[in-house]
Amino acid sequence: MMDKKIISPCISICKTEPITGYCYGCSRTNDEKNIWKEESTTNQWKEKNLIELKKRMTGWQLSTFEESYNYKLKEGVSLFKKKLLEKK
């Protein structure tokens, strides 16, 4: 039986906050971004990491992430990327 694919938390706002090392968009570290890309990474790890990422976020960052990630889950592209593509 095939596991359901867990969608990457990347919302196309890829800038790293220099003090914490967390991405402004998804709150992942560079190591976590690499782990997400590995084929051997389990859905269990990804689900736990998503919970951890949301715990790192507060205020506008959390609300922006939730809105864009939920849109990505439904439409296959983040809101930010959609707006970038519309400008082209």
At 1 the pLDDT is 47
Q: Is residue 8 part of a domain?
A: no
**Total number of domains constituting the chain:** 1
Mean pLDDT of all residues in the chain? 93
Residue 18 lies in a domain: no
Report pLDDT digits (tens) over 48-66. 999 999 999 999 999 999 9
Indicate whether 4 belongs to any domain: no
Q: Answer yes or no: is 82 within a domain.
A: yes
Judge contact between 87 and 20, C-beta under 8 A. Answer: no
Strands (E), 1-88: none
Structural domain of 53:
30-87
Answer whether residue 59 is part of any domain. Answer: yes
Strand partners for 16: 23
The average pLDDT across 36-41 equals: 96
pLDDT at 87 (0 to 100):
84
Residue 57 DSSP label: -
Check: CB of residue 25 under 8 Å from CB of residue 14.
yes
Instruction: Convert the pLDDT of each residue in 2-22 to its tens digit.
Output: 557 899 999 999 999 999 999
pTM of the model: 0.88
